[in-house]
A and B are shown apart, each in its own frame.
Chain A
């Protein structure tokens, strides 16, 4: 399936549902046709049952699109994933800042086991540091809300979409339409974003956040330049939280928690993938994330495929489900006869 990933919106659900979720490098896949949230971070996301499938889908989507001026001009060649046998030349980095507050002990232990898996297979596994990680969530909020305020300005009910009955004046129609059509989460983001873009605030917030964004991107660059090929991190802080638990906190808090491990990759434009790893004690899926170098999807997916093979996540077999459903329907049919 296709999704979009601005701060983790493909990888996060993938982790909670036990599927592969790929966020490609920014500029690899065209955003033409993708309803924008944050133009400088959005990418189309790919959800599949296995890593090989993700490579296939990527192969048919990637490449320059003249309709999207932010796609790179370089030629893209679809690839097949080799089977990794020799990991001795692979260097895996474990960013220590991703041991975030609130990370469940289950996931922490899975992360550690995964690191050991690579070590035992001969790969070089080292702890690395991405020092500006703790600023990324706040930075993301400033830039995200600013672009949201801008991108939502077109929803005025005039050309398309919901239009309010209120029509004393154009302004009153706009105001009523937008109040009715946007829920408070969106309205909150628009108001924040407009605040950060005010002339007197622009330098303090928007430009500052852009600078911090550059620092975050540079953190990754430094680590990759030091010889690390790929980073291994958790995707989420825990398995999926039940609804009754979830609604105890407001959307902004939940977003901050859910995105914390995924959105730095959007800030830096890097490719990242969630690979389903194991079931939690509650029987819910948990995944781990790999982050790769810009435009090195082949390497990223090759490593992810190797890892997928090692962990043997209990993927739901659709044939079993279909058989089960068929027998249920059969019983229902018999019931109606008698």
Chain B
């Protein structure tokens, strides 16, 4: 059987972290009472006009710069028309002709053979980033045959990050999205929490034989977590391969991922190809961005977005932070990945290192094995840890000073998890876990044990 080459392209929608919506002043907030955050513009009342939110533009520029894109100094807004209950105006304002950023790249790492021992760096090209409006939410109530519409989300700013189809499997897709998520969270341009709908991923999947043209692709939607993304992509690749090997054909359709069944199913609502009748948005002039060179001398800098200023203020991206951790502390690259993967873990690690004489290379083992596994077992975040960095540092100091053995240290840690407020030293004394170095004392204990044996 000839080999198959899977091709995966992702479209990621990230909700912009801002106080108000992209084109109106209503608030952005998760889980507010239905239709409580809706301005006249969001409800598409005639006579209302869009006014661009500066913070959303800055978020998109930040993200574009972090993804190595060219920022278009002039970008345009368009209307994309279709009818749906959650789209009050009958069109979405987006950037189809000239988006705000183009031609970037996203580097991510993958471990080969499922062991965190061999990391490989891969890159996926970013085609473009565009600003657009989010739609409202519609909930179908089949029992009462009605649709309930909540417009709180209608008009919230989105950055759509379109990737070139450079990925080949679920694992790559998951790793790329995870890295994008970390970057967005580091920038603060999006909180990117998938569970709250702040990061949504659609996957375009197709397969073909090497050397032949690309196969028909399907679009998979409704993926709610990174884990499900990997599963959905892999399932779809398999499904297409099996279909084609059995002589069938792939339809250019949209499918939803059913997380319970672990498979993709055709979506009912999408019928045929939609013509979105794109038209320039007449109420918004072209978006002009400046840099240090093009900025007019007497322009009020409150009125303009300066790309260079934004670039100067970019924080260290995850890849830079990891490299710094490796360089500063001598830990392995795969360790730096895990440290950055958990919210707050890297800070915890650094706090412990700063409060102990134990070498960072040894500290990291305690963090990644003992601390992290306990947190995972009990579904706790680093912030919720009953063992603070100070407590752990104290414990590791005792170990470093050889006052206790490593086995004893683990026992102390078990006690510390209980969160009873005792210090490591108190627990050591309580449980008599001190290391005995005195030769004479050791002989006495051994002798006592031997004597005890003889008596039986």
Contact = CB atoms under 8 A, between A and B. Distances in A.
A309 B120 CA distance: 85
19 contacts: A32-B49, A33-B47, A35-B47, A36-B47, A39-B283, A68-B49, A69-B52, A70-B49, A70-B285, A149-B277, A153-B83, A154-B46, A154-B90, A156-B90, A159-B88, A171-B83, A174-B83, A202-B277, A206-B279
A318 B46 CA distance: 35
B127 interface: no
Contacts of A280: none
A150 B91 contact: yes
B81 A70 contact: no
B279 A36 contact: no
A198 B47 contact: no
Interface string B57-87: 0000000000000000000000101011100
Given A153-B91, A174-B83, A69 B45 contact: no
A309 to B, nearest CB: 37
Interface of B: 43-52, 79, 81, 83-85, 88-91, 147, 149, 151, 275, 277-279, 282-285
Majority secondary structure, A binding face: loop
Given A67-B49, A70-B49, A206-B279, 18 more contacts: A32-B49, A34-B47, A36-B47, A68-B283, A69-B49, A69-B283, A147-B282, A150-B90, A153-B89, A153-B91, A154-B46, A156-B83, A158-B85, A159-B43, A159-B88, A160-B45, A174-B83, A198-B275
A154 B44 contact: yes
Given A32-B48, A158-B88, A194-B277, A153 B81 contact: yes
Interface string A142-169: 0000110111111010111000000000
Contact of A170 (B45, B89, B147, B285): B147
Interface in A180-201: 194, 197-199
A196 B83 CA distance: 18
Contacts of A39: 282-283
Given A153-B83, A159-B43, A199-B275, A69 B51 contact: yes
Name the 5 nearest CB pairs between A and B, nearest first: A153-B90, A197-B277, A39-B282, A40-B282, A154-B44
A141 to B, nearest CB: 16
A152 B88 CA distance: 11
Majority secondary structure, B binding face: loop
Contacts of B88: 154, 158-159
Contacts, number: 82
B44 to A, nearest CB: 4
A31 interface: yes
B266 to A, nearest CB: 19
A69 B277 contact: no
Contacts of A159: 43-45, 88, 151
A202 B147 CA distance: 34
Contacts of B284: 69
Contact of A31 (B43, B49, B51): B49
Given A170-B85, A206-B279, A150 B79 contact: yes
A66 interface: yes
Given A146-B279, A154-B90, A171-B83, A66 B51 contact: yes
Interface string A49-85: 0000000000000000011111000000000000000
B353 to A, nearest CB: 51
Contacts of A160: 43, 45
A70 B284 CA distance: 7
Interface in A99-152: 146-147, 149-152
Nearest to A195: B277
A150 B81 contact: yes
Contacts of A34: 47
Nearest to A42: B282
Contacts of A31: 49
B148 to A, nearest CB: 11
Contacts of A170: 84-85, 147
A40 B284 CA distance: 10
B91 A35 contact: no
Contacts of A206: 279
Contacts of B49: 31-32, 67-70
Most chain A CB inside 10 Å of its own CB: which residue of B52, B79, B84, B283: B283
Nearest to B42: A159
Contacts of B282: 38-40, 70, 147
